[in-house]
Structure 1
């Protein structure tokens, strides 16, 4: 299998050699020295790369590289990964997706006598489908102190383990703003909250295709109807005081993607309305929209109107146009008409229905709530 150095030479240098070999007479005066001829963005997907290669030669060629895409290769040793990061001190983006990095990172450190070098320039790292363990990921976090974007999709995580091995304390990374967690089998919001506590300044979170059944902590039992006001909160005076509200760990979250999760109740939608900074939401393909109390599937118009009416702070929904004041008033009126003949236990709480214009709602509608 080729090394990274060999793959770079084959892709970025052989083309130039072939071009000039075909010329009958040529005088070639390079404008840049060989070290600077390698672009600052390297894309080497699916090249069977399993190692870094000769370190000094690689450093000469790649010292100025800022973005590196090594997805779908054969890297499996952390010692090789750290060697690559070491020789690219300006690296801002690294994609290691679909390399099998399930090996123990501490063993690699012992073997290569690693000094624990950090990489402060690295702002975005992609580790999708790498099978990286939580122990290895915690170690990686210590080496990338300024990282802002992390991709951990499709790593078969059903629990979140971000507790420091040495001090038994939860890791906190204030620099992280964006996290992609698509396709992991995590099913409870209490586990997701661990991500929010580890990344307290998180602004964007993608949980698409995770089998989340509820945003309540803990989730309600299947045979109970647990309304928004009945789950535990700090300061409530009647429940476990140590149990956080679902939004407490996400005070800065502005974008949330819940597409194709297993969210199935409107109570969960009402919980989303309590996230203090949430402005952009994607929630499609969930059981909540499959059928209503009459066993009929919600139309696209009904889904949008009911969501807008319940989520007063959302600015865009499912990637659509920005929600205007007229859109919101129409949606809130639609919600009141929609629930007028519904049983009381299916209606949203009163504050959802009369947030802005209760004085303008017909008496016949008011009397039903």
Structure 2
């Protein structure tokens, strides 16, 4: 334990902590480690014992004293971990089988064959292949001998050092300064001390473009100080930290294209808007941040906001959004193409998961990817037609009319359904007859059909579907069952009656027609073909 000093990171019975004090604690004899634990529930006090202050903790129960024998003795350098995990040849090991260095001579004696350059070639082959290196949870405390990583594995581009025992950014810099190709760095779950002058470490981190710095109890002021260490940074993941305000973040990280704030308790959308001036930001992840609303009040219905001018993707899952109006607001973003939105109260307003996806698509006109699944052109058409059907009567009741000169929907309707005018301009305005609800008897009329997929081993799905289901909706159902590409699906059907010797195959050639139009009956067979687009 001679290498453990104040500031060292240790493990004790599976708990990680930082040594804040070394010495005696009267009236007991012998040396104690005063430890500030990463998990404050592991501690007993704040560094004071029996009225004497030995060290300080951020949490009132974050500290305690332990004996050296309780501390995990296993500790190693980055080089040792690299060598152990990836089996790198040591200085005296060429990587060549010793038996291959001998041949049998005329006198039946072994004769050694000299292999010129074997050691050099072997090392180059093993070292240069290392591009992505994962050393998570390897009890690493330091870099190792000066320059050893540069000669051992010079081509590393991605390095995972998460959950180790590195005490500071200075120690991390001793590792990264040797890796001139490094672009992605994982240092999550390391409680790293910041240097007095973070900018002094920028030469050691000048090639790093992506940083993962999750679960380190990071606060906003500490993060802002880090910015000068990462001059080339483009993607920053700082999940599950203590960041609650976003002041000056955009100014300190102007070149970011991706920012992941998942798990930080922001609570208020106004904090997120402080990032609105980031002109390079393309991806924003604010999952599980306590958001209760989304609003761009600088723009009215149908207008695009100047905020987040390049934002293409946003993730808002596991928040507290309760109204569809919050989703509508995202349509004000100029470039939004991708949305991840799961586990929000608003999504529970409709129990049909397929319908929820369609409402997300219909409300955001530029969406190409929804919850990590591509939005096909036909799926968008289905979503927008269904949106018209669902809210068409409400539109008519609010002053909407198929005749342009009579069409004057109320301001409230426009605010609640800001894309409705755009959708009917694209697909045509509905009339009242089209929107009248079907009778209860018709709703209950279901067809039992067999869905057969020859390209997937003639797998058969027995389903009950309403005769009023459109071909488009049937394709969406089949896409969900088979994981096939929506745009590749071609459907037809044959009669399920056994007394018919020659069964005609009829193509379902119009996505907007319902199954009743094609006279599909109980026990008919839906044939699914997949045609590559």
For the pair 1:106 / 2:201, whether they are aligned, the reply is: no
Task: Indicate how the Cα distance of structure 1 residues 128 and 121 shifts in structure 2: closer, same or farther if over 3 A, else same.
Answer: same
Task: Indicate how the Cα distance of structure 1 residues 216 and 365 shifts in structure 2: closer, same or farther if over 3 A, else same.
Answer: farther
> What is the aligned counterpart of 1:209 among 271, 276, 288?
288
Secondary structure in 2 matching 1:256: strand
What is the CA RMSD across the aligned residues, in angstroms?
Answer: 3.6
Structure 1: state its 5+ residue gaps.
164-169, 218-231, 237-244, 292-296
For the pair 1:326 / 2:381, whether they are aligned, the reply is: yes
Q: Distance in 2 between matches of 1:56 and 1:130?
A: 28
For the pair 1:11 / 2:85, whether they are aligned, the reply is: yes
Alignment of 1:46-65 (within 5 A): 46-65=137-156
Q: Distance in 2 between matches of 1:160 and 1:193?
A: 9
Secondary structure in 1 matching 2:236: strand
Task: Indicate how the Cα distance of structure 1 residues 272 and 21 shifts in structure 2: closer, same or farther if over 3 A, else same.
Answer: closer
Q: Normalization by structure 2: what TM-score?
A: 0.54
Quote how far apart the aligned CAs of 1:246 are: 10
Q: Distance in 1 between matches of 2:91 and 2:322?
A: 60
Task: Indicate how the Cα distance of structure 1 residues 290 and 348 shifts in structure 2: closer, same or farther if over 3 A, else same.
Answer: farther
> What is the aligned counterpart of 1:145 among 231, 240, 254?
231
For the pair 1:356 / 2:423, whether they are aligned, the reply is: yes
Contact 2:188 2:216 in 1 (8 A): yes
Secondary structure in 1 matching 2:374: coil
Per the alignment, residue 312 of structure 1 pairs with 365
Larger radius of gyration, structure 1 or 2? 2
- Higher RCO, 1 or 2 (CA under 8 Å, sep at least 6)? 1
Q: Distance in 2 between matches of 1:206 and 1:259?
A: 9
Deviates more, 1:356-365 or 1:68-77: 356-365
**Structure 1 or 2: more strand by fraction:** 2
Q: Distance in 2 between matches of 1:87 and 1:139?
A: 23
> What is the aligned counterpart of 1:96 among 179, 187, 198?
187
Quote how far apart the aligned CAs of 1:126 are: 0.9
Per the alignment, residue 226 of structure 1 pairs with none
Alignment of 1:1-369 (within 5 A): 1-13=75-87, 25-27=99-101, 29-30=118-119, 32=121, 34=123, 37-38=126-127, 39-101=130-192, 103=193, 105-107=194-196, 109=197, 114=200, 116-117=202-203, 119-162=205-248, 171-197=251-277, 199-216=278-295, 232-233=297-298, 247-291=305-349, 297-324=350-377, 325-337=380-392, 339=394, 347=413, 349=415, 351-357=418-424, 359-363=428-432
Q: State the number of aligned residues.
A: 327
Quote how far apart the aligned CAs of 1:354 are: 2.4
Contact 1:119 1:143 in 2 (8 A): yes
